Chains A and B, each alone.
Chain A
Amino acid sequence: MNAIAPVGVNAATFLDRGDVTGNAQRQKAADFLRHVGLPRTGVEAWKYTSLRALADVPFTAAPQVVDDRAVDTLLAEVETISGLGAGASRVVFVNGSFDAGRSRLPKGVRISTLAAGMLPDDGIDPAGDVTTALNTVLARDGLDLVVPAGVDGGCLLLVSIGQTGEAEPVSFHPRHRIVVEKGGRLALLDASVGRGQYLHNPLYDITVADEGYLSHARIQAEGRQAVHLAVSHARVAAAGVYDSFTLTLGASLSRHEVHAGLTQPGASVHVNGAQLLSGHQHGDLTSVITHAAPDCVSRQTIKNVLSDQARGVFQGKILVERIAQKTDGYQMNQALLLSDGAEIDAKPELEIYADDVKCSHGATVGALDDDQLFYLRSRGIPNAAARSILIRAFLHDVVDQIDDQRLKDSLNLAVEAWWTREVA
């Protein structure tokens, strides 16, 4: 995903806003962004998704002053789709800034926020990819969470609310750091919602230490005018587990890029996801799973359900380095096209340099199976209900992959809510 040739669109709207003086990381990111620009299709890493349209939107820094009632409405929406209502610990960010009043901090874990203007020295290459660079130039706030060794941090809700009202388009670039120390556990549900025209560009810096366990489910339910560009950098140490899931429901244009590194023997990552898109939505899930140590396991199942003129993109690479013998890698990518205008573009990729490995991937694309529909219809189930059963069964298969029951319940609720809305 590196070595992008300078063929993108001028990123001046963003670069002009970032004050990068005196910070080497930000400087490097800005130089990179200035050099490559906002990618358009044709750059291999952005073959199917173009950010060209962003260059023409005069995004400004997100204001602190917001419409309180609108924010509360959106927060209630999160409670509904996640099922995590009153009593659940939560950290709330509004337009990328920490909102202490609406947050209910959990006990047992250490929580702070990124001090304005300060970037942690997190070892993430600021010039590795465009999404990371954009965040690095403009990040001002973010969650900094540490689950101490041996502690079960329970279930935490991380909410992002984007809210512009009638105002001009804004962008916010939170940088979240989540560390699970040795033997610690955490279930993190991360939901993004909003109204109006905004760009949400979060970066997740995730470290799971030895025997740590992090379940991370993302529900991306941004407003339909929003643009969502997320990037996760996850490092998993010996016998650690990073179990992640991305559910893409909202935004007009979205991309979640996951870079997961298995750095010590016995580590395992799951990079699962589903994109449920309609209208003219464009959703992109891109991942690079790097096996950099022997005896690691990676699992990936991605499902797309696309209707109207929606376009789903999946680019998934499993890279097995020479040292990573006994790797067990599996990747499955399936798409259901529900209308003739919908489009899926998939590029599942294996790059393997070790010989004693077991790696496979599969992909299927198609409409609902006529035989299955007929089977249900012949048993007296009406067409709409039969379709509903099949589509939800298709999705159930992937939502079921996440281990944590609480997160599984939340995802199922979100899928149900999406389906109810879709049918209506």
Chain B
Amino acid sequence: MPAVAETRKTVETLGQNTYKWGFETDIEMDIAPKGLNEDTIRLISSRKKEPEWLLEWRLKAYRSWLEMREPTWAKVNHPPIDYQDVHYYAAPRRKPGPKSLDEVDPELLRTYEKLGIPLHEQAMLAGVEVPEGQEARAPIAVDAVFDSVSVATTFRKTLQEAGVIFCPISEAVQEHPELVRRYLGSVVPVTDNFYAALNAAVFTDGSFVFVPKGVRCPMELSTYFRINARNTGQFERTLIVVEDGASVSYLEGCTAPMRDENQLHAAVVELVAMEDASIKYSTVQNWYPGDENGKGGIYNFVTKRGACRGARSKISWTQVETGSAITWKYPSCILQGEGSVGEFYSVAVTNNHQQADTGTKMIHIGRNTRSTIIAKTISAGQSDSTYRGLVRMMPKASGSRNFTQCDSLLIGDRCGAHTVPYIESRNMSARVEHEATTSKISEDQLFYCRQRGLSEEDAVGLIVNGFCKDVLKELPMEFAVEAQKLLQISLEGSVG
């Protein structure tokens, strides 16, 4: 959503106490029947014209999924999910190559408009031919995932010139099968966990990024997801591979239409960083959290993991989680390469009846690896928010370091904030430090702000933003602006 920031109206548009991105686009869809079985998987695979090995890979995942059980250790509650009551494939119908915006489906344009996307970007998103030269001006490449199929990928040419591949993963399967085959499932194996196995079986699309040796990606890459068709599960698969000495910054932002029924979302993100490579992955997640009474909202069960394979590689996760009825998400780093670095910066806000169980895992395998975890949790209303993290020092991780700080803020006396860190060390010279605090908004700070004429809500917003400063400053600039406003919207109605 960084594109949104450009045309964003001022704060008064944030005044409404309803879900801002709550609208639904009515576009004709090509939908698979509800239910999950091998036929569904074969259908998805054939629609995507996938090679045989990928179908086999999906079926293997499906068969192991059948044997697995949903994890129950997270501090979240939801009614049982009927996995047979979900559409596993939905593709918007598209007319190839509209000549101008006039030919683009007006519903799609209206969606973009509500998202606040500038006109020239709208054209690119909708796949309209644009004269060359214009592309290079814009600083951000957007790969919009409109429901399950990427409608368009912009700024491709500029990226191509640099040697960067940035395309929907379904396309990468066709055009770069050897790369996809080598890395897909290499960080999150198909049998990793219940939701990852489900994703591997039925994923429909997602993004693929490949940055070759020595290339600094010339622009920030951005994808945003919209969940759009009623009852369509989203099973995105993202794979980012960065070769020796290369680097990339990837932004992911999400909005979703307002609706009543719960939606299941089980994405998998895999990052691979080779020697001296660096990946910065930023997320602003603002899916529909359900209404004030906890009705509706997205179930967000995501597996995100990065492998620092090469020496001195670096993976940095930054997330601002304000949406979803349930968040189950642990972006992790496997620090294999000597001297590799993992970072996790997180803000998780829950209000009303939201539940979030999120955190990270830092697995230190190589020598002199370092990791930093900064997690800020804010609970309001009747929500529950949990930080759950693992820091593991393996026997060979000599000289490795970890620093973890988890702070929780409670707003109101009906919410809960929990911290569950796991610390495991099997190396003498590795050092792990963990700090966690829980408190409420200080009366003194509130009084100070109120006395200077700020409304209570503005004061809370200001204090919360200060509380999250350490994380927000890690976000790319456009995202940081967006995130601050999101925090404020999310906490509306929680005080006074």
Contact = CB atoms under 8 A, between A and B. Distances in A.
Contacts of B423: 344-348, 363, 365
B394 to A, nearest CB: 11
Interface in A337-389: 337-340, 342-367
Contacts of A335: 425
B473 to A, nearest CB: 23
Contact of B421 (A342, A347, A353): A347
Given A337-B425, A349-B419, A359 B413 contact: no
Contact of B425 (A343, A358, A362): A343
B438 A359 contact: yes
Contacts of B434: 348, 361-364
> Interface majority SS on B: helix, strand, loop or mixed?
strand
B491 to A, nearest CB: 14
Interface residues of B, number: 35
A325 B428 contact: no
Contacts of A367: 428-429, 431
Contact of A340 (B395, B408, B417, B437): B395
Contacts of A325: 413
A350 B420 CA distance: 7
B413 to A, nearest CB: 5
Contact of A363 (B393, B408, B410, B432): B432
B293 to A, nearest CB: 20
B415 interface: yes
B418 A355 contact: no
B411 interface: yes
Contacts of A343: 424-426
B416 interface: yes
A44 interface: yes
A358 B440 CA distance: 8
B432 A349 contact: no
Nearest to B402: A365
B25 interface: no
Contact of A355 (B393, B437, B440): B440
A102 interface: no
Nearest to A370: B429
A364 B430 CA distance: 10
Given A322-B413, A352-B418, A362 B436 contact: yes
Contact of B439 (A349, A357, A363, A365): A357
Contact of B431 (A44, A347, A366): A366
A342 B395 CA distance: 9
B412 interface: yes
Interface string B273-312: 0000000000000000000000000000000000000000
Contacts of A360: 435-438
B53 interface: no
B447 interface: no
Given A355-B413, A357-B439, A361-B436, A337 B428 contact: yes
B414 interface: yes
Interface of B: 73, 393, 395, 408, 410-440
6 closest cross-chain pairs (CB), A and B: A355-B410, A366-B431, A363-B434, A365-B432, A346-B423, A337-B428
